[in-house]
Amino acid sequence: MQMSPIVLRQPTPILQDLPTRRSLHVAIISDGNGRWATSRGLPRSAGHRAGAQTARRIISAAPGLGIRTLTLFALSSANWKRPPAEVTAILRLLHEYLLTETSNCVAEGVRLSIIGRRDRMPATLRDAIADSEAATANGTRLHLRMAVDYSAREAIFHAACRFYKVTKLSPDSFSDVLSEVLRGGSTDVDLLIRTGGEQRLSDFLLWECAFAEFVFTSQRWPDFTVDDLQAALREFDNRERTRGALPDAIAG
């Protein structure tokens, strides 16, 4: 994890205005690549390749749908339990994505951040990440965060260790420390989508999902379309987000 000086902002109230549709943070657990491939008699890596294509389509559509931050779960720290060849294939896809898409990201105003550990990645990939992050740093239409070798528990643990040394304590300043640990920020998630039929969080954005709405779909990630994303956003729009307060109809 990166160690750098901690800069804290002033504490702000925990209850913030409800986010507007214009600046949503959507996080996606892109599950089901392996089953998609296996059901077609293909190697699992073919599912991840198809999944990367889906990611491209969703990233491209996101800003037009009012999404301002999109966090995609590309590789969990728990995925190291998989065969090395599969993990290597996913890291290669990420490298390929960075090499082919960075200029498009710059042209489309997409700022790219990778959240998660970098010390277990090949040095060439770390360099490509640094180059892409530097090249896209001024993008304002979409903040694209890819979670790679990411574990929310581990990030929170590291932030807690650093937070121990901070004197002005508040939930917001903890978020700032977590943001430093992750490098790519730590903003609240509005909508979490999980494809592939499972209904669990799998160590993804545990802190940031405190008030998130969840949409689970049985679609496998390679089959997930922009229409499916729009359907999830419609479902999100129909939910009343109270954050612990009373619903409007009861509060009067």
> Interaction with ligand FPP in 201-240: which residues (CB under 6 A)?
221
The smaller minimum CB distance to ligand FPP, of residues 63 and 180, is found at: 63
184 lies in the binding site for ligand FPP (CB under 6 A): no
C-alpha dihedral (192, 197, 200, 206), degrees to nearest 10: -20
Q: Are 94 and 58 spatial neighbours (Cβ–Cβ below 8 Å)?
A: no
CB of 48 to ligand FPP, least distance (A): 5
Question: Is residue 90 part of the contact set for ligand FPP (CB under 6 A)?
Answer: yes
Q: Which of 79, 203, 223, 228 is catalytic?
A: 79
- Residues 135 and 101 sit within 8 Å (Cβ to Cβ): no
The torsion angles phi and psi of 25, rounded to 5 degrees, stand at: -105, 110
Helix 123-135 and helix 84-107: axis angle, to 10°?
20
Nearer to ligand FPP, 64 or 197 (CB): 197
Stretch 107-126: interaction string toward ligand FPP, x if CB under 6 A? --------------------
Site for ligand FPP contains 179 (CB under 6 A) = no
Could you tell me the sign of the dihedral formed by the alpha carbons of 210, 191, 193, 104, in that order?
negative
Sheet holding 142-150, edge to edge: 110-115, 142-150, 67-76, 24-29, 191-194, 213-216
State yes or no: residue 51 binds ligand FPP (CB under 6 A): yes
Structure tokens at 187: 């903003």
How far are the Cα atoms of 30, 78, 232, 242 from residue 202, in angstroms, in the given order?
11, 9, 20, 25
**Contact with ligand FPP (CB under 6 A) among 60, 79, 170, 202:** 79
31 in active site:
yes
170 lines the binding site for ligand FPP (CB under 6 A): no
CB 150 within 8 A of CB 204: yes
Nearest to 29 by CA among 49, 54, 46: 54
Tell me the closest approach of the beta carbon of residue 196 to ligand FPP, in angstroms.
Answer: 5
Segment interacting with ligand FPP (CB under 6 A) among 45-53, 113-121, 129-137, 168-176: 45-53
**Measured from the CB atom, is 50 or 181 closer to ligand FPP?**
50
Q: Pick the closer one to ligand FPP by CB: 139 or 173.
A: 139
Q: Which residues bind ligand FPP (CB under 6 A)?
A: 30-35, 48, 51-52, 55, 74-75, 79, 90, 93-94, 97, 196, 221
